[in-house]
């Protein structure tokens, strides 16, 4: 049975009916659950999932869980990406649904009006026959011409025609109109967000998404211009990356933006074909959104309070309270808000020194500032920062 467009589950939501990212039919996210019971505050996914959840980009199961460790398939990942980038595909689907619903309402109204007109014709015919029977003195009932009963043929053109929605041909051989993701996959193919697997004939929607596949969807959906590998200034060494691979620009750009944080010995650990969990996919999208807003992700260590004596054009109160930071490029006096990516604790600092010069680290904090967000005994913390007061 072909589906009606009016019954499409609008793909401004982010996953299949059984999954984690709730679907709605009115373009609005489902009611937000304040906290997920299986996502404690010390989870590395707590901050990104909470951020996306508060913005209606992800939702949980009905029992209040998130299942961050469960895998994400390609269809679910695509839906997440389209929603996060507010892609035109979703607006097209919303408009198509509204138009189809309006057409159905118009057809139903026409049908009701036709039925009412038919009943009125039948009533008038009956009254006319009754009147003629009561007033005629010249002809017997058997001599009078019979009054024809109205039929559907008499109402040609008034019967409501069924609305046949127009749907795009399947973009891939392995998806059908009955699939919840049909419209988003078809639209994504048309916009060049996805191109299929192998020879491009299949999409493999149920296959677990891999890192490079998710990155390519994300950059294509956002309209990001992928630079040539030699044009990318890396903050991490990538000794094992084959720059001739199709995914090299995606990995290098995401690494340069701080979207990939798994490091060993100061080197970024990248497995292009590793599958992503729900938590990892949410974290990847979160970092993309935040870096688009100017945020930076990486690691921070600490140094002794008061070691830097550089004068700053603003932020002396931070210096006086040992809330300082070292960064390799930001102007002295830049005020930063630093967040521990694992526990969400924050501290505001002023840049008054240069460093760090260890691969993978983006800030050094004064000991007092570091202690606001993590135990100094840890030595290093995974952090993100944003500029809250630049130097004019």
Q: What angle do CA 303, 300, 379 make, to 5 degrees?
A: 60
The DSSP output letter for 360 is T
pLDDT for the residue numbered 62: 87
Segment 26-47 mean pLDDT: 68
CB 23 within 8 A of CB 112: no
In this structure, are residues 11 and 102 in contact, taking their beta carbons and an 8 Å threshold?
A: no
Query: Strands 361-366, 335-340: parallel, antiparallel or unpaired by DSSP?
Result: unpaired
CA 230 to chain centre: 30
Asked if pLDDT for residue 190 goes beyond 60, the answer is yes
The per-residue pLDDT for 265 is: 53
Measured at the CA of 232, the angle between CA 228 and CA 234, to 5 degrees, comes to 145
Nearest to 77 by CA among 28, 25, 23, 16: 16
Listed ranges 156-165, 257-266, 351-360, 381-390; the one with the highest mean pLDDT: 381-390
**3-class secondary structure per residue, 31-78:** CCCCCCCCCCCCCCCHHHHHHHHHCCCCCCCCCCCCCCCCECEHHHHH
In terms of pLDDT, which residue wins out, 41 or 21? 41
Position 378 scores a pLDDT of 92
pLDDT digits (tens, 9 = 90+) for 346-384: 999 999 999 998 877 899 999 999 999 999 999 999 999
The per-residue pLDDT of the chain, averaged, comes to: 81
Q: Which of 330, 332, 328, 327 is nearest to 309 (CA)?
A: 332
For the beta carbon of residue 178, count every other beta carbon within 10 angstroms. Answer: 9
Q: What's the pLDDT at 353?
A: 96
In this structure, of 151-165, 318-332, 365-379, the range with the lowest mean pLDDT score is: 151-165
Helices (DSSP H) in 136-210: which residue ranges?
182-191
* Domain assignments of the chain as residue spans, ordered by start: 1-135+152-204+275-293, 210-274, 297-389
90-149: pLDDT as tens digits: 888 888 788 778 888 888 888 888 888 888 888 888 887 877 777 665 555 555 555 454
**Can you give the pLDDT at residue 15?**
38
Is pLDDT at 173 greater than 70 in this prediction? yes
Q: What is the mean pLDDT of residues 289-313?
A: 91
Query: What pLDDT was estimated at residue 196?
Result: 86
User: Token pair of 322, please?
Assistant: 């040992």
Least confidently predicted of 28-37, 50-59, 155-164, 266-275: 155-164
pLDDT of residue 14: 38
The pair of structure tokens assigned to 255 is 């690494």
Q: Global pTM?
A: 0.73
Pick 297-389's CATH classification: 3.30.565.10, 1.10.357.10, 2.40.40.10, 3.90.1330.10.
2.40.40.10
> What is the mean predicted confidence (pLDDT) over 317-326?
96
Contact 65, 37 (CB under 8 A): yes
Q: Say which residue, 368 or 258, is predicted with more confidence.
A: 368
**Residue with the two structure tokens 């995606």:** 250
Beta bridge partners of 386: 337
In contact, 277 and 69? CB cutoff 8 Å: yes
Tell me what pLDDT residue 151 has: 46
The DSSP line for 257-308 is TT----EETTEE---TT-B-BHHHHHHHHHHHHHHHTT-EEEEEEEE-TT--
Residue 27 has pLDDT above 80, yes or no: no
**CA dist 361 to 56, 199, 332, Å?**
32, 41, 18
What is the Cα–Cα distance from 118 to 120, expressed in whole angstroms? 5
Rounded mean pLDDT, 203-212? 96
Confidence of residue 331 (pLDDT cuts 50, 70, 90): very high
pLDDT at 188 over 80: yes
**CA 297, CA 58: separation in Å to the nearest integer?**
22
Structure tokens at 209: 């998404």
């Amino acid at each position: 049975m072909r589906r009606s467009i009016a019954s499409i589950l609008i793909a401004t939501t982010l996953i299949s009916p059984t999954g984690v990212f709730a679907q709605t039919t009115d373009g609005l996210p489902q009611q937000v659950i304040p906290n997920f019971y299986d996502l404690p505050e010390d989870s590395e996914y707590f901050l990104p999932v909470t951020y996306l959840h508060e913005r209606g980009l992800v939702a949980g199961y009905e029992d209040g869980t998130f299942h961050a460790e469960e895998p994400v398939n390609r269809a679910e990942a695509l839906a997440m990406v389209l929603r996060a980038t507010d892609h035109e595909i979703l607006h097209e689907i919303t408009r198509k649904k509204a138009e189809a619903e309006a057409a159905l309402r118009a057809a139903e109204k026409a049908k009701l009006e036709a039925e009412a007109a038919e009943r009125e014709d039948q009533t008038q015919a009956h009254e006319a026959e009754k009147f003629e029977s009561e007033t005629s003195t010249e002809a017997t009932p058997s001599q009078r011409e019979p009054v024809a009963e109205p039929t559907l043929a008499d109402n040609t053109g008034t019967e409501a025609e069924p609305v046949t929605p127009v749907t795009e041909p399947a973009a891939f051989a392995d998806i059908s109109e009955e699939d919840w993701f049909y419209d988003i996959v078809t639209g994504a193919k048309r916009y060049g967000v996805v191109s299929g697997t192998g020879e491009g004939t299949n999409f493999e929607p149920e296959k677990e998404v891999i890192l490079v596949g998710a990155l390519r969807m994300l950059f294509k959906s956002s309209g990001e211009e992928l630079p040539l590998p030699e044009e990318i200034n890396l903050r991490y060494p990538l000794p094992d990356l084959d720059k001739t691979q199709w995914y090299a620009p995606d990995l290098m750009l995401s690494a340069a933006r701080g979207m990939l944080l798994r490091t060993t010995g100061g080197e970024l650990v990248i497995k292009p074909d590793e599958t992503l969990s729900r938590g990892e996919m949410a974290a990847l999208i979160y970092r993309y959104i935040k870096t688009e807003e100017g945020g930076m992700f990486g690691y921070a260590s600490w140094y002794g309070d008061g070691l830097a004596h550089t004068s700053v054009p603003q932020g002396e109160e931070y210096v006086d309270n040992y809330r300082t930071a070292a960064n390799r490029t930001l102007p002295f006096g830049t005020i930063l808000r630093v967040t521990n990516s694992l526990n969400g604790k924050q501290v505001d600092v002023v840049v008054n020194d240069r460093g760090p010069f260890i691969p993978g680290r983006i800030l050094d904090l004064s000991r007092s500032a570091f202690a606001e967000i993590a135990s100094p005994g840890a030595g290093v913390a995974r952090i993100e920062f944003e500029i809250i007061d630049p130097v004019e």
